[in-house]
Amino acid sequence: MKEDHGDKESRRTAKLGWDQRLSTASSTFTSGYDVRLAMKILLALCLALSSPPAYSQSAPNPKLLAEIENIKAIDHHSHPPKLVSAGEKDEDYDALPCDPATPFDPPYAVRPENPMYMEAWKALWNYPYNDRSPEHVRFVLDAKAKAKQEQGDNYANWILDRLGIETEFANRIALGRGLQPPRFRWVPFDDALLSPLNNSAVADNPDRKPFYQLEGKLLQRYMKDLNLTAAPRTLEEYTARVVTPTLERQKQGGAVAIKFEAAYLRSLDFEPASQAEAAAIYGRYANGGAPSKQENLKLQDYLFRYIAAEAGRLKLAVHFHTGGGCGSYFDLPGADPALLSSVIDDASLRNTTFVLVHGGAQTYSKKVAYLMSKPNVYADFSEITWLLSPRALSYIVRNFLEWYPEKTMFGTDLSPGTPDIDWEEIGWVTSQTGRRALAMALTGMMDDGEISYSRAVELAHMVLHDNAAKLYGIQ
């Protein structure tokens, strides 16, 4: 594509500005001013000129965008709801739903006034209006009810077809009605296995307290599945009778990976811990009492590395929530994926695949791009397909593609919402945002001479489908 005249002129003007400043700095040497000051000025200017320019993402190439919109995708991360009967609730769509968290203001893209939700209504339900009046929104609710009645247990598959999604990775405690392989692949949650003791000391803010309570209930559910009524008395028995059997049950149940939402519960710095240290802590409080925060974290450190090693043995990838989360007490520094470095660099865990879900979000995405240099680390850009505009997201996607395109995967993070803006609309918006951002990133790379059109098409297929298919052995 030809360069815009305005871009040429702006670069020419910028160059003239630098030339003038360089000339001023150079004259400093001949006019008796401080030579050291002049050298500092010249050094600063040289560093500025040598820095890579900030690129402006182009509008997506129409032909490329059309190609991308037709690719049947693997959605690497989502929380789809199961079908429920009248009066039934779906409480399995997330181990840590945002409901118990303290209220916080949602970003603009998530709010109902985002015009993309009306676009979703038009695309999914043929919405004939251009406003959101209550009487008109009734059209959407009626259209959904009719589709659910007509489709029955095939409803979720029918929605995936409308979204252009071939396979959905469902992050759920259990799958449920209407969510079955091969269209839906299971990713269960295993944070509950990290906290077999009294966790009051680590439930140290108003958001973590209800979250740890939910994890305690989930651990009881996992033990009940194993016909256990109480936690074993020793750490060795706990890992042998609860942890490993739970992972094996999940694998046998069709799980392709396990998910950790640990950033909602603690910092991601799972440091090395010996079995002896952890066993002493477990034994000290197995019959009662509350370990200190540091004791609890030390036990979690050991158990996480044990779980990660077992996941590698079972060929289960380990997914990690990275970047920001819900709740007004969410610890953003503790969600930095770089805190996982000691885990990722643990030679004993190199057979375990780690996936940095949400790509570190907008806050830590550049760190994630580097972490993908590790042989067992991948990333997706789910969630930010919901929180960011296509253009803002395109910069993150382009950075990933310029580092490790073969390790970058698409995801929506669709989840239940309100009756009028539910998982169907969220799925449509996030899918469209992700595809358009990918098209913009690839178009920018073509415009800058980094890739050809054919390579752009190849990369689009890799990101939307082939990378995940290869990683998880999906035919």
Mark whether 271 and 239 lie in a shared domain.
yes
Mark whether 19 and 122 lie in a shared domain.
no
Q: Three-class SS of residue 444?
A: helix
Instruction: Please name the amino acid found at residue 443.
Output: T
Mark whether 214 and 314 lie in a shared domain.
yes
In a domain, 55, yes or no: no
Per DSSP, helices labelled H in 314-408 are: 341-344, 361-371, 384-387, 390-403
Mark whether 169 and 214 lie in a shared domain.
yes
Q: How high is the pLDDT of residue 475? A: 83
In a domain, 276, yes or no: yes
How would DSSP label each residue in 252-288? HTTBSEEEE-GGGTS-S------HHHHHHHHHHHTTS
Per-residue pLDDT tens over the stretch 336-371: 999 999 999 999 999 999 999 999 999 999 999 999
Which domain CATH number covers 468?
3.20.20.140
In a domain, 366, yes or no: yes
| Cβ neighbours, 10 Å, residue 410 | 29
Mark whether 310 and 337 lie in a shared domain.
yes
**Could you state, in chain order, the average pLDDT of each consecutive group of 10 residues for the chain (475 residues)?**
40 38 36 39 36 62 98 98 94 95 90 96 98 97 98 98 98 97 98 97 97 98 96 97 98 98 98 97 96 98 98 98 96 98 97 98 96 98 96 97 98 97 98 98 97 98 98 94
Q: Is the distance from CB of 353 to CB of 374 less than 8 angstroms?
A: no
Mark whether 172 and 290 lie in a shared domain.
yes
Mark whether 40 and 152 lie in a shared domain.
no
Cα–Cα distance between 238 and 244 in angstroms, integer?
9
In a domain, 137, yes or no: yes
What tokens appear for 388 in the block?
């960011």
Q: How high is the pLDDT of residue 407? A: 98
CA distances from 70 to 82, 164, 220 (A): 26, 7, 44
| Cβ neighbours, 10 Å, residue 397 | 28
Mark whether 96 and 163 lie in a shared domain.
yes
Mark whether 355 and 412 lie in a shared domain.
yes
In a domain, 162, yes or no: yes
Tell the residue number behind the tokens 């079995």, with chain if given: 275
Cα–Cα distance between 175 and 157 in angstroms, integer?
14
In a domain, 176, yes or no: yes
Which residue range is the domain that position 10 belongs to? 5-50
Mark whether 72 and 213 lie in a shared domain.
yes
Number of H helices, E strands in the chain: 18, 8
In a domain, 56, yes or no: no
CA distances from 164 to 93, 124, 146, 290 (A): 22, 12, 21, 50
Mark whether 284 and 375 lie in a shared domain.
yes
Mark whether 125 and 78 lie in a shared domain.
yes
Q: Three-class SS of residue 354?
A: strand
Q: How high is the pLDDT of residue 31? A: 39
Cα–Cα distance between 38 and 438 in angstroms, integer?
44
Total domain count for the chain?
Answer: 2
In a domain, 57, yes or no: no
